[in-house]
Amino acid sequence: MSPSAKSDRRFEFRLDLHSGVPVYRQIIDHVLGGISTGSLKPGDQLPTVRQLAVDLAINPNTVVRAYRELEIREVLTTQQGTGTFITDKKPRVNEVERQRRVAQLAGELLARAGAEGITLQELLDYFTELQNEPNRRT
């Protein structure tokens, strides 16, 4: 249907209402995650405040809160009357620092997952599934 130019597929949001994690927080994480996986690129437009509120069956104010926080972090920019877009990426830090950070993040994940009896393999399975079907629905 939509003959869009940039990203044909819409960026799909998913919420877990039973997780205990605040909804606005889930939206933030989802956008950041989208950047990490590459399904969101600089210049991409995000769903409008009202549209996302309808899709997720939540209050527009909650979407606003998430978007605003991301804007403060310079992850996205808003243009009143137009929409909300992913910012051009900031310059990366040096490679050594970067690699150290990767190891740190990975280590933290494994520690927490391990404490809950979740294996690396399970996580890897999830990630690869994400790569194959980036916008999958539950």
Partner DNA sequence: GACAGTGTATTATAAGACTAGTACACTAGC
Partner DNA sequence: GCTAGTGTACTAGTCTTATAATACACTGTC
Instruction: List CB contacts of 51: < 8 A, sequence separation 6 or more.
Output: none
Nearer to a copy of itself, 81 or 91 (CB): 91
- Say which entry of DNA, a copy of itself, none residue 61 contacts (CB below 5 to 8 A, set by partner kind): DNA
Q: Indicate whether 59 belongs to the interface with DNA (CB under 7 A).
A: yes
Q: Which residues pair with 85 in a beta bridge?
A: 45, 77
What single-letter DSSP state applies at residue 45? B
- Say which entry of DNA, a copy of itself, none residue 114 contacts (CB below 5 to 8 A, set by partner kind): a copy of itself
Residues 13-52 that bind DNA (CB under 7 A): 20, 22-25, 46, 48-51
Nearer to DNA, 51 or 119 (CB): 51
The one among 7, 59, 61, 104 contacting a copy of itself by CB under 8 A: 104
Contacts of 55-58 with C-beta under 8 Å, sequence gap 24+, read: 55/13, 56/13, 56/15, 56/23, 56/27, 58/15, 58/23
Binding segment (CB under 8 A) for a copy of itself, from list 19-27, 51-59, 61-69, 77-85: 19-27
Q: Is 67 exposed, middle or buried (0-12, 13-18, 19+ CB in 10 A)?
A: buried
Rounded to whole angstroms, the Cα distance separating 28 from 85 reads: 14
Binding segment (CB under 7 A) for DNA, from list 36-44, 73-81, 104-112, 123-131: 73-81
